Amino acid sequence: MIEIWSKYKRAILANCVPSSVEANRGVNYWRNSLFATTLIFILPLCFIALIPSLFLITFENKEYITLLHFITIGLMCFIAFVPSVKTATRKLIFSLTVYAFAITLNIFTSPSSGSVLVYFLAACVYSIIIFDNKYAYWWSHLVLFISIFFGFAIAFDLIDFSHNVDMSSVNEWIAVSSNLIFLCYLSSALIPKIFKGIENYISEQQQLKTELEASKKALQVKNEELEQYAYVASHDLQEPLRMVTSFMHKLSSNYGDQLDEKGKKYITFAENGAVRMKQIVLDLLDFSRVNRPSDELELVDLDALLLNYLELREGTIAAASAKINWTEMPTIWTIKPLITTVFHNLLDNGLKYRKKDTAPSIDISAREQNDYWEFAISDNGLGIESQFYDKIFKLFQRLHNSNEYEGTGVGLSIAKRSVEFMGGQIGLHSQVRVGSTFYFTIPKKINERQD
């Protein structure tokens, strides 16, 4: 039953709401939807209304009413189901049928015009709503024309209105119908105003959406260009840099004894500069690679990852008497090189930005939430003022100079990019001279992809 009802609905919607208006969801789309929904409900009602209609044939010999009823049902079925008819034509047939029904009621059956006038008003308001604003007055003109027609019919006795109390004199008819005409014209003036407002609002929103999409696309293109540029630049810089380093080395070993102290110092400066530049180039290369990892998702045992880190940094950890603590870490589906970079960069910073008089102590924890994992890495180091929380994640931004603490200002940018590439977020809480806690999340969605 539900299946039949939804098929029936879909058929009417497909006929009455053309896909061209469906795409932009403007006011016309809602007008057509309203019209289609009316048809969906009115058709069964037409069939139910056959019952009193058949009653009238049987007991009051009003066959013409039943005939009209069948004609109406036929028209409604035509409007609802015949394909390739324009929606405007369907609406026109519908509205005219409703007006015709009201006229018939007024002429033949209703003992008072009052109820029929309400019917006319409803038909007029409904037509104003489902048709374009520019036709709004047509429906009131039609009501005016019908009222005048009835006025003449009463005055010249063209039709037998003996059953209708309001139609006994022209004066009474004018008194009743003038109210109707006034209300219809009022509706013709007011309803389009509302639609105009909504239409303007929707087109503004659509304009904004289009502009937003265009600038998003432009930004994406620019970002890709920038990444490409960073990749090519850092890649191509490596070779000349290698030449500078090796010839500086040759210069100092072959001609070192011919240089005075100042000359030797200059060579050392140049060598140090080249080493630093090499680090920047390598970091930049890593940064540009984040958005194009060639690796697939895999199950990564974070316990093993951290143990591996301890092995790699054994010397640094021992030299600083550092402690790195964690309780059990999970195994998650993720991109191994990216998560490794994130942990390494955050832990390296925890070891690096320590207080001179205190051995570094770093705590690592993992918390499982509904949709994501949340990791925290807390150190007892220098701490960061809250005004720099955003700055430190930007490329080449540092709070310490490289004489004091070595670095290029790329590590946290890489960490942020990597976390965001995996769909997570990164942030921190910190207190100066107490320590910092860096948090990052890894959504489980990325994990489920392989489940």
Interface residues with ligand ADP (CB under 6 A) are 345, 349-350, 353, 379, 381-382, 384, 392, 398-400, 407-413, 436
Strand order from edge to edge, sheet including 435-443: 323-326, 361-368, 372-378, 435-443, 426-431
User: Smallest gap, in angstroms, from Cβ of residue 318 to ligand ADP?
Assistant: 20
Query: Could you give the CA distance from residue 315 to residue 309 in angstroms, rounded to a whole number?
Result: 11
The residue assigned the tokens 């069964």 is 44
User: Smallest gap, in angstroms, from Cβ of residue 254 to ligand ADP?
Assistant: 34
* Residue among 192 and 407 whose Cβ is closer to ligand ADP: 407
User: Smallest gap, in angstroms, from Cβ of residue 260 to ligand ADP?
Assistant: 35
Residue nearest to ligand ADP (CB): 407
* Residue among 299 and 312 whose Cβ is closer to ligand ADP: 312
Q: Residues with Cβ < 8 Å from 446, sequence gap 6 or more?
A: 297, 333, 334, 422, 423
* Residue among 234 and 408 whose Cβ is closer to ligand ADP: 408
* Residue among 172 and 363 whose Cβ is closer to ligand ADP: 363
* Residue among 162 and 387 whose Cβ is closer to ligand ADP: 387
User: Smallest gap, in angstroms, from Cβ of residue 398 to ligand ADP?
Assistant: 3
* Residue among 177 and 408 whose Cβ is closer to ligand ADP: 408
Pairing of strands 361-368, 331-334: unpaired
User: Smallest gap, in angstroms, from Cβ of residue 385 to ligand ADP?
Assistant: 10
User: Smallest gap, in angstroms, from Cβ of residue 2 to ligand ADP?
Assistant: 59
* Residue among 188 and 436 whose Cβ is closer to ligand ADP: 436
What is the chain's Cα-based Rg? 40
Pairing of strands 426-431, 435-443: antiparallel
User: Smallest gap, in angstroms, from Cβ of residue 393 to ligand ADP?
Assistant: 7
Query: Could you give the CA distance from residue 202 to residue 209 in angstroms, rounded to a whole number?
Result: 10
Q: Do 207 and 184 meet the contact criterion of CB atoms below 8 Å apart? A: no
Helical (H) or strand (E) element with 189: helix 170-255
Q: Do 382 and 432 meet the contact criterion of CB atoms below 8 Å apart? A: yes
Which letter does DSSP use for residue 297 in this model?
Answer: P
User: Smallest gap, in angstroms, from Cβ of residue 354 to ligand ADP?
Assistant: 8
User: Smallest gap, in angstroms, from Cβ of residue 242 to ligand ADP?
Assistant: 22
Q: Which of 151, 71, 166 is nearest to 118 (CA)?
A: 166
Residue 373 bridge partners (DSSP): 368, 442
* Residue among 180 and 392 whose Cβ is closer to ligand ADP: 392
The residue assigned the tokens 């890894």 is 442
Q: Do 354 and 316 meet the contact criterion of CB atoms below 8 Å apart? A: no
Query: Could you give the CA distance from residue 399 to residue 34 in angstroms, rounded to a whole number?
Result: 61
Q: Which of 237, 236, 312, 285 is nearest to 408 (CA)?
A: 285
Residue 366 bridge partners (DSSP): 375
* Residue among 38 and 279 whose Cβ is closer to ligand ADP: 279
